RNA sequence: GCUCGCAUAGCUCAGUCGGAUAGAGCAACGGUUUCCUAAACCGUAGGCCGCAGGUUCGAUUCCUGCUGCGAGCACCA
């Protein structure tokens, strides 16, 4: 029976609910799942494994106070199965569970391996993310979007959806015109040669120079500088000329555009490969600019769109503070908005999706409200199925990133600095002992852990202040901390195997043996770890259904803490055990190792075997 | 001005459906290694959950108003 790796209730809660539910009065009207959903870990560890709040039972008990209900339930509850002890504590019923039952309920599914996602839901979802512009630099800010979009793709798949991961590259538009203006009119033929390495970044620097020059001229012109005004006007005329030629596919310009665009695309491919991000479909703005303009003309003729100050657009009065949504510029060229109309159409037509998610920063919230509203007014009913996932910006300690001020951290510099630091601080000590390839691979995995976890471990509507030094510290609540706790578990399994001690593969399917092995897991750290592992599916469920990977981050950090408490405690050693206790601990370590690695991978973070 | 977001420990942040004594990380102080990885673990200290009302048996959580910070608001994407 295929099953998505996410559930709204945990395995332990379900096992307990099966015993608790029959004891509750039918008048309470609670289903088995309701009861399971009301069970949660108690406030403090010494209160037991699960707690049941009796507040909602009040009406069924003629309004009796919850503490009295809890006391009554504690009396009635059978304690010879999964529930070993039931104690009323105020309005709560605190339950201590039988170790063998806990282990049997939680560990086998994890120890078997969670594997690849299975489609269990009807809703097919497209997640569009990344959307970098060609001819512009790729920097840390873009990494938040990539990390977030990729994690959402993975989480929705784990949640049981069929997902189309889509990218949408900005390969046409005003920024291209500015870059090509600089490239063609300012650079000499000799200067037009890009470096062998980092062609895309080099192109981005040309765009930055062009843009800075235009801003400078504009500033001077406003201050009354006639010369600057003349230069600005000329440049603007030229960029418009380039833009028009680009949209009409002028052969000469097209050749330059194709050549330079390719430099950026190659760099993006390299970045995505390093980031372990894969797209099922890449859309290009260049494939929707013409269809977009056609749509604008069509709906202008139909009277849905109107002309205003030379531009074409629509007045969406629903958005009071800025009702006019421009769809075609006065010079006849297209805008981001123009292309978004055609793109939405294309997505639904080509992929038969049921839901379309746009991962784009929060500043575009009004834009997408306009897009979806406009689509609806055009009679495109599927606009209802479009959904913008906004997120806050990434800033530097000294303030917002600015290409102009040169304060951006470009991707390549970020990568090199992280890899260099990780090797020097943690991995160089293994030189000679490990192969260079393994050291490189481990540094790569840790760098991904640091940057992705850093970007994801924060609610989407919180700003991130990116402090490279702090993130490279790798202490505390970080990706590498979680990777480290998994590596330790891997190390335990590896050393146990060397000592000839392995998990009996038949154990996970043998109820009797499971109970016997599980009953040995009585140390507080072991019980706590089983309880923590029980939360994995719920964490994935919440992260996927709320589209918030940060929820999984928070869970994995608490799981890693439980793992490290177990690994550190000498009373929980594995290798010096035998028999049922050895099997119980091997089962626990195997399950925890799988949970951590699988959980991290749902965030796009690989786990090194050792570190 | 209008719209949206944020405000919780010294700093950076969690806090599921409104429920027990509001939790982590960093920084500070003290402790743990005859080592299944000290990138770890344990302990101490640290709080007007921005302010004022409202709803509720119960509010950090929901509602209203206010204050502070940030972002967006016509030819950029």
Residues A507-551 pLDDT 10s: 999 999 999 999 999 999 999 999 999 999 999 999 999 999 999
Which tens digits make up the pLDDT trace of A333-351? 899 999 999 999 999 999 9
Strand B contacts in A 301-330 (CB under 7 A): 308-311, 313, 320-322, 324, 326, 329-330
The pLDDT of residue A400 is 82
Which tens digits make up the pLDDT trace of A248-279? 889 999 999 999 999 999 999 999 999 999 99
The pLDDT of residue A163 is 97
> And the tokens for A194?
């890009």
ipTM of this complex prediction, to 2 decimal places: 0.96
The pLDDT of residue A223 is 84
Nucleotide showing the shortest C1' distance to residue A360 CA? B77
Verify if strand B has an atom below 7 Å from the CB of A402: no
Burial class (CB in 10 A: 0-12, 13-18, 19+), A92: buried
Which tens digits make up the pLDDT trace of A474-513? 889 999 999 999 999 999 999 999 999 999 999 999 999 9
Through-space separation of residue A327 CA and nucleotide B75 C1' in angstroms: 9
Closest Cα partner for A130 from A406, A379, A389, A318? A389
A401 has a pLDDT exceeding 90: no
A1 has a pLDDT exceeding 50: no
Verify if strand B has an atom below 7 Å from the CB of A51: yes
Mean pLDDT of all residues in A218-223: 86
State the number of CA atoms in the 13 A half-sphere of A391 facing the CB: 31
Strand B contacts in A 183-222 (CB under 7 A): none
A405 has a pLDDT exceeding 80: no
Residue A562 region by backbone torsions, left for phi larger than 0, else alpha for psi between -120 and 50, else beta: alpha
Verify if strand B has an atom below 7 Å from the CB of A596: no
Through-space separation of residue A290 CA and nucleotide B14 C1' in angstroms: 47
Is there a contact between A372 and A386 (Cβ–Cβ < 8 Å)? Answer: yes
A327 has a pLDDT exceeding 50: yes
Verify if strand B has an atom below 7 Å from the CB of A38: yes
Verify if strand B has an atom below 7 Å from the CB of A611: yes
Nucleotide showing the shortest C1' distance to residue A550 CA? B14
Closest Cα partner for A361 from A402, A401, A390? A390
Q: What is the C-alpha separation between A430 and A440, in angstroms, rounded? A: 11
The pLDDT of residue A3 is 67
Q: Which nucleotides of B are covered by protein (CB under 7 A)?
A: 1-6, 12-17, 19-21, 23-27, 36-42, 57-58, 70-77
Burial class (CB in 10 A: 0-12, 13-18, 19+), A160: buried
* CA angle (A62 as vertex; A60, A66 as ends), nearest 5: 75
Verify if strand B has an atom below 7 Å from the CB of A488: yes
A239 has a pLDDT exceeding 60: yes
Strand B contacts in A 155-184 (CB under 7 A): 170, 173-175
Strand partners, A358: A128, A388
Verify if strand B has an atom below 7 Å from the CB of A74: no
Through-space separation of residue A121 CA and nucleotide B59 C1' in angstroms: 37
The pLDDT of residue A61 is 86
Strand B contacts in A 338-377 (CB under 7 A): 362-367
Verify if strand B has an atom below 7 Å from the CB of A523: no
Verify if strand B has an atom below 7 Å from the CB of A64: no
Verify if strand B has an atom below 7 Å from the CB of A568: yes
Is there a contact between A359 and A149 (Cβ–Cβ < 8 Å)? Answer: yes
DSSP string, A173-239: SHHHHHHHHIIIIIS-TTTTPPPSS-HHHHHHHHHHHHHHHHHHHHHHHHTT-HHHHHHHHHHHHHH
Nucleotide showing the shortest C1' distance to residue A174 CA? B76
Verify if strand B has an atom below 7 Å from the CB of A463: yes
The beta strands (E) that lie in A66-205 are given as: 83-89, 92-97, 124-128, 162-169
Percent of chain A with pLDDT over 90: 81
Nucleotide showing the shortest C1' distance to residue A339 CA? B77
The pLDDT of residue A554 is 96
In the predicted model, what is the mean pLDDT of chain A? Answer: 93
The pLDDT of residue A471 is 84
> And the tokens for A172?
């046409």
Verify if strand B has an atom below 7 Å from the CB of A465: yes
**Residue where the block lists tokens 């990116």:** A466
Q: What is the C-alpha separation between A431 and A159, in angstroms, rounded? A: 41
**Comparison of pLDDT for A441 and A220, the residue scoring more:** A441
A433 has a pLDDT exceeding 60: yes
**Which amino acid residue lies closest to nucleotide B21, measuring CA to C1'?**
A43
- 3-class secondary-structure state, position A579: helix
A56 has a pLDDT exceeding 90: no
Residue A404 pLDDT class (50, 70, 90 cuts): confident
Mean pLDDT of all residues in A89-108: 93
Contacts of A185 (CB under 8 A, 6+ apart): A238
Nucleotide showing the shortest C1' distance to residue A570 CA? B36
Through-space separation of residue A87 CA and nucleotide B37 C1' in angstroms: 40
């Amino acid at each position: 029976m295929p099953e998505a790796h996410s559930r709204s209730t945990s395995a332990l809660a379900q096992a307990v609910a099966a015993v608790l539910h029959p004891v509750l009065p039918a008048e309470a009207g609670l289903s088995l799942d309701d009861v399971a959903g009301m069970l949660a870990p108690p406030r403090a560890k010494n209160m037991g494994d699960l707690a049941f709040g009796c507040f909602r039972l009040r009406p069924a008990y003629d309004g009796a106070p919850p503490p009295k209900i809890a006391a009554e339930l504690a009396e009635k509850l059978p304690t010879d199965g999964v529930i070993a002890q039931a104690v009323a504590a105020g309005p709560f019923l605190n339950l201590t569970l039988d170790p063998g039952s806990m282990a049997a309920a939680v560990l086998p599914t994890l120890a078997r391996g969670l594997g690849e996602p299975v489609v269990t839901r009807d809703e097919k979802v497209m997640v569009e993310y990344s959307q970098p512009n060609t001819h512009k630099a790729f920097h840390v800010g873009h990494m938040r979007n990539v990390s977030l979009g990729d994690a959402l793709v993975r989480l929705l798949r784990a949640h049981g959806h069929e997902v189309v991961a889509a990218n949408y590259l900005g390969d046409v538009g005003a920024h291209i015109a500015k870059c090509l203006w600089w490239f063609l009119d300012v650079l000499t033929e000799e200067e037009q040669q890009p470096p062998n390495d980092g062609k895309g970044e080099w192109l981005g620097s040309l765009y930055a120079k062009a843009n800075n020059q235009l801003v400078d001229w504009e500033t001077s012109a406003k201050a009354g500088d006639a010369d600057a005004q003349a230069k600005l006007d000329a440049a603007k005329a030229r960029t418009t000329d380039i833009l028009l030629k680009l949209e009409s596919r002028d052969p000469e310009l097209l050749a330059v555009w194709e050549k330079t665009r390719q430099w950026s695309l190659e760099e993006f491919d390299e970045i995505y490969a390093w980031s372990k991000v894969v797209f099922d479909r890449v859309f290009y703005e260049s494939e929707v600019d013409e269809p977009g303009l056609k749509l604008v003309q069509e709906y202008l003729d139909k009277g849905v769109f109107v002309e205003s100050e030379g531009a074409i657009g629509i007045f969406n009065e629903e958005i009071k503070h800025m009702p006019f949504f421009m769809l075609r510029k006065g010079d006849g060229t297209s805008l981001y908005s123009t292309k978004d109309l055609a793109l939405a159409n294309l997505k639904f037509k080509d992929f038969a999706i049921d839901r379309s998610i746009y991962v784009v920063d929060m500043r575009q919230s009004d834009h997408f409200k306009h897009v979806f509203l406009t689509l609806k007014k055009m009679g495109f009913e599927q606009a209802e199925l479009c959904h913008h996932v906004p997120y806050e910006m990434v800033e530097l300690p000294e303030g917002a990133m600015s290409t102009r001020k040169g304060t951006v951290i470009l991707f390549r510099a970020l990568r090199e600095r992280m890899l260099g630091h990780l090797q020097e601080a943690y991995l160089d000590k293994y030189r000679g002992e490990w192969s260079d390839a393994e050291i490189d691979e481990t540094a790569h995995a840790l760098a991904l852990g640091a940057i992705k976890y850093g970007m994801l471990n924060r609610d989407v509507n919180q700003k991130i202040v990116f402090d490279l030094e702090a993130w490279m510290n790798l202490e505390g609540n970080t990706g590498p901390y979680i990777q480290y706790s998994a590596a330790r578990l891997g190390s335990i399994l590896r050393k146990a195997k060397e000592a000839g001690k392995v998990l009996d593969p038949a154990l996970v399917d043998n109820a009797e043996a499971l109970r016997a092995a599980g009953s040995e897991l009585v140390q507080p750290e072991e019980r706590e770890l089983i309880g923590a592992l029980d939360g994995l599916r719920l964490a994935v469920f919440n992260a996927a259904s709320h589209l918030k990977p940060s929820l999984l981050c928070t869970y994995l950090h608490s799981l890693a803490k439980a793992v490290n408490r177990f690994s550190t405690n000498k009373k929980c050693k594995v290798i010096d055990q035998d028999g049922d206790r050895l099997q119980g601990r091997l089962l626990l370590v195997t399950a925890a190792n799988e949970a951590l690695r699988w959980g991290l991978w749902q965030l796009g973070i690989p786990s090194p075997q050792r570190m």
